[in-house]
Amino acid sequence: MRVCVIGTGYVGLVTGACLAHIGHDVICVDNNEEKVKLMKAGQSPIFEPGLSEIMQAAIQAGKIQFTTDLGAGVSHGDILFIAVGTPPLPTGESDTRYVEAVARGIGANLNGGYKVIVNKSTVPIGSGDWVRMIVLDGIAERQKTLVPVGGGRAEEKLPEITAQFDVVSNPEFLREGSAVYDTFNPDRIVLGGNSSRAVAMMQELYAPIVERKYAEDQSLPPVPVLVTDLSSAEMIKYAANAFLATKISFINEVANICDRVGADVTQVAKGIGLDSRIGNKFLNAGIGWGGSCFPKDVAALIHTADDYGYEAQLLKSAVCVNQRQRLIAVEKLQQALKILKGKTVGLLGLTFKPDTDDMRDAPALNLIEQLNRLGAKVKAYDPIVSQSGLRDGLTGVLVETDPERLADGCDALVLVTEWQQFNNLDYAQMAKLMNHPVIIDGRNFLDPEKMVRAGFQYIGVGR
Ligand code: UDX
């Protein structure tokens, strides 16, 4: 099928490359020329395991193109994905101006055959109908610019824009760091819309994935496809993320109680996770959830509830627990070192989770800020983020080039991100280089006994 993906951020590019990989003819549109140049050369602007490989294969097979020309994209695609960012505004609402600009642009370029416009961006509930309205506005604006056919007074007739389209909501559930894997091995596909023609086209698009042709385990039954109305599909995305975030906040709260009563949250999580009604996933206690999705989506859902006169108390509490949890490492440092002023703290990991270079809403940012405020010097080591790769304006942290340089002269270490390689560092050597060999394991990732043998005072979260 002919597909156009507008916006080549993490969701758009992964979607485009994976659809090309399964044989569709894809064109990806982005207004950033530098990025388009990079992608044409087969390079991914984001770090996502396996992505550049499938991009390069699709380029070679002639299945994917990259352009800044929205008009070319719109005329190419029978299915048009809107996959631009919806960053949070200070109020917690999503900033939908990029979606609006794209929808208007689609309208201004529509002409000819039937198109399915797909909301892939996480948009506020109700956006399906709103996108339809903006596309129609785009068509009307273009109509105004057209010159009458023939130009003469006698034939004051405008050429007709024949635009037939439907809007579908198709939320993504990709995790950063395993987005390609998740695309080929989804738990479910959600399609929201009231046009059976559009839904049928989406089902055809995803058929190879539904039949698990690209799955790790091809013997599994087909992927469930849930067809709903527009608002329910939009709500599913928010509710799924809010549930997962709340589940983590729940176990973090349990961890804080474990700390006080002397129980071990990792054993408690195992014990409750074996109950199939609870499940064992997303029960790792630590320094809280971050990233580009959970904080933004939970805030947006709270805001939507407010807009409709409902106070989402449970979700607000999940956010409160998370805000407090991000600073739990500072409390533990104060207990271990007492005065932090003049001390040096080394952070192992900066990104909000492993296997990504993403620092959006990462707990490390709150730690750096709070430690600086208390007069501590902060150093860090991350397998991917270097000093030059730090986000503009982020100060107060010196990024070292290896873990031993990080440990040198530190009064304590905090494991912030559970990168696999942090299991195999030479901790005995690192302990020797430190003023106080204290380690706060912010992800309950390390083996406490091994750390004690290496010479560390080990402090976990709720364990
Ligand atoms: C999430 C959702 O999982 C995905 O379905 C959605 O499309 C986007 O948001 P992502 O943000 O990539 O994906 O990361 P995820 O692996 O879900 O982790 C989110 C945060 O929760 C991270 O900060 C992680 O460290 C934290 N987390 C996760 C925990 O603290 N404990 C856990 O048990 C699991």
Q: What is the pLDDT along the chain (463 residues), one digit of tens a residue?
A: 999 999 999 999 999 999 999 999 999 999 999 999 999 999 999 989 999 999 999 999 999 999 999 999 999 999 999 999 999 899 888 999 999 999 999 999 998 789 999 999 989 999 999 999 999 999 999 888 877 766 656 556 666 777 799 999 999 999 999 999 999 999 999 999 999 999 999 999 999 999 999 999 999 999 999 999 999 999 999 999 999 999 999 999 999 999 999 999 999 999 999 999 999 999 999 999 999 899 999 999 999 999 999 999 999 999 999 999 999 999 999 999 999 999 999 999 999 999 888 999 999 999 999 999 999 999 999 999 998 888 777 889 999 999 999 999 999 999 999 999 999 999 999 999 999 999 999 999 999 999 999 999 999 999 9
- 361 is annotated as contributing to ligand binding: no
Listed in sequence order, the residues at least 6 apart from 112 whose beta carbon sits closer than 8 Å to its beta carbon are 75, 162, 163
For residue 274, the CA-to-ligand 1 centroid distance in Å is: 21
Residue 348 pairs in a beta bridge with 381, 415
| Residue 131 DSSP code | H
Index of the ligand 1 atom closest to the CA of residue 283: 33
Index of the ligand 1 atom closest to the CA of residue 173: 7
| Residue 458 DSSP code | E
Do residues 301 and 312 make contact, with C-beta atoms less than 8 angstroms apart? yes
Identify the burial level of 335 via C-beta atoms within 10 angstroms of its C-beta, where 0-12 means exposed, 13-18 middle and 19 or more buried: exposed
The dihedrals phi and psi of 24, each to the nearest 5 degrees, come to -80, 160
* Residue 459: HSE in the Cβ half-sphere, 13 Å Cα cutoff: 22
Structure tokens, 401: 């080039």
Q: Is 165 helix (H, G, I), strand (E, B) or coil?
A: strand
Is 293 catalytic? The answer is: yes
Question: Which of 15, 172, 268, 293 to probe ligand 1 with, by most ligand atoms within 8 A of CB?
Answer: 293
- 229 is annotated as contributing to ligand binding: no
Which of the following is catalytic: 18, 293, 320, 410?
293
Do residues 51 and 179 make contact, with C-beta atoms less than 8 angstroms apart? yes
Ligand 1, pocket residues at CB < 6 Å: 172-176, 241, 244, 248, 282-284, 286, 289-291, 293-294, 352-353
For residue 289, the CA-to-ligand 1 centroid distance in Å is: 7
Do residues 3 and 25 make contact, with C-beta atoms less than 8 angstroms apart? yes
d(CA 123, CA 262): 43
- 212-219, long-range: CB within 8 Å, 24+ apart, which pairs? 212/185, 213/22, 214/21, 214/22, 214/184, 215/184, 215/185, 216/181, 216/184, 216/185, 217/185
Helices then strands, counting H and E runs in the chain, come out as 17, 14
ipTM higher than threshold 0.95: yes
- Is the C-alpha dihedral spanning 232, 233, 235, 236 positive or negative? positive
| DSSP string computed for 87-122 | PBPTTS-B--HHHHHHHHHHHHH--SSEEEEEE-S-
Provide the residue count of the chain. Answer: 463
> So where are the chain's domains?
2-228, 238-324, 326-459
- 173 is annotated as contributing to ligand binding: yes
Structure tokens, 183: 């695309």
Do residues 251 and 269 make contact, with C-beta atoms less than 8 angstroms apart? yes
For residue 175, the CA-to-ligand 1 centroid distance in Å is: 7
Question: CATH says 2-228 is which class?
Answer: alpha beta
What pLDDT, on a 0 to 100 scale, did the predictor assign at position 337?
A: 97
Q: Can 2-228 and 326-459 be said to share one CATH topology?
A: yes
Closest-CA residue to 443 (of 427, 425, 420) = 420
Question: Which of 353, 361, 420, 422 to probe ligand 1 with, by most ligand atoms within 8 A of CB?
Answer: 353
- 253 is annotated as contributing to ligand binding: no
Whose Cα sits closest to atom 32 in ligand 1? 282
d(CA 27, CA 63): 8
Question: CATH says 238-324 is which class?
Answer: mainly alpha
For residue 59, the CA-to-ligand 1 centroid distance in Å is: 31
Q: What does CATH list as the number for 326-459? A: 3.40.50.720
Whose Cα sits closest to atom 31 in ligand 1? 284
d(CA 32, CA 308): 37
C-alpha distances out from residue 389 to 290, 364, 386, Å = 19, 15, 5
d(CA 291, CA 236): 19
